[in-house]
Structure formats: C-alpha cells, structure tokens
Amino acid sequence: MLHEIDPIAPVLHQIQHVLKKDGFLICVELEPKGASSHKGPRVTSGQMEQSFISAGLRITKMLHPAEKLYVLIAQK
C-alpha cells in the first residue's frame, strides 16, 4: 500500500530508520500498465526502486511474478 502514500520519501526514511541492521523491507505492488479501470495511484517498479535507494535502502532483488505485479526486496 506504499503507492497510496504521497509523499512517500518521509515514510521510507522512517522505515529505514526503524529497520534493524541488515533488516529487510519487502514491497509487493501492482505495476501500472496503460489504461486501467482502477483509478487509484500506482507507482512503477522503477519509481519505487529509486525511492527506496533515495531513502538509503539497498535493493537486493526485484521480481515480477506476474505481468502486473512486482516485488522489491530491500535491505538496510
């Protein structure tokens, strides 16, 4: 549900702050793809990856288990 937060940067900085050393954050989100009947906000995997990096998190893995689904695994 990180896609619902605007701006996301302060929240990711707080998450990074409270994670234990070498702790993990796992993010599962829907990838925006063209026109959609869903009117809610969506964040691309690239945008989310950049937000994580800007917050001081290191991306350890990015997965796309389905066409419109992505998983980011980040470590402090």
The torsion angles phi and psi of 16, rounded to 5 degrees, stand at -60, -40
Greater confidence, 1 or 11? 11
pLDDT exceeds cutoff 70 at 36: no
Residue 32 confidence class, pLDDT cut points 50, 70, 90? confident
Angle between helix 45-54 and 9-18 (nearest 10): 60
- Using left for φ > 0, alpha for ψ between -120 and 50, and beta otherwise, residue 59 falls in beta
The torsion angles phi and psi of 29, rounded to 5 degrees, stand at -140, 165
Question: In which element (H, E) is residue 75 found?
Answer: strand 69-75
- Domains, in order of start, for the chain: 2-75 (3.40.50.150)
Residue 72 CB-density burial (10 A; 0-12 exposed, 13-18 middle, 19+ buried): buried
Over residues 9-29, the pLDDT tens digits come to 999 999 999 999 999 999 999
pLDDT exceeds cutoff 70 at 35: no
